[in-house]
Amino acid sequence: MKVTVDQTRCQGHTLCAMKAPDMFELDDVDGHSSPVSPDVPADQVGKVIAAVRSCPEQAISVEDA
Ligand code: F3S
């Protein structure tokens, strides 16, 4: 699975980083989220799906890879 964060949608709500702290890092300046890696390890899939659902801006996308 691959994950991306749309920087034009992200408003820095931080829920993604709470749901999947090992997968998302927040920018120190604007608080926008970026994936630590685009490739989602198998043991992180559930947390990343939870992050997708948690984001109020629908900024996070996943696709099968
Ligand atoms: Fe941004 Fe959504 Fe996370 S707005 S900081 S991707 S919860």
CATH number at residue 16: 3.30.70.20
Ligand 1: lining residues by beta carbon, under 6 Å:
5, 10-16, 33, 54-55, 57, 59-60
Model ipTM value? 0.98
Place of tokens 């659902």: 53
Full-prediction pTM beyond 0.90?
Answer: yes
CA–centroid distance, 59 to ligand 1, in Å, is 6
User: pLDDT, tens digit, for every residue of 8-64?
Assistant: 999 999 999 999 999 999 999 999 999 999 999 999 999 999 999 999 999 999 999
- Give the domain range for residue 22: 2-63
* CA gap 29, 48 in Å, rounded: 23
Count of structural domains within the chain: 1
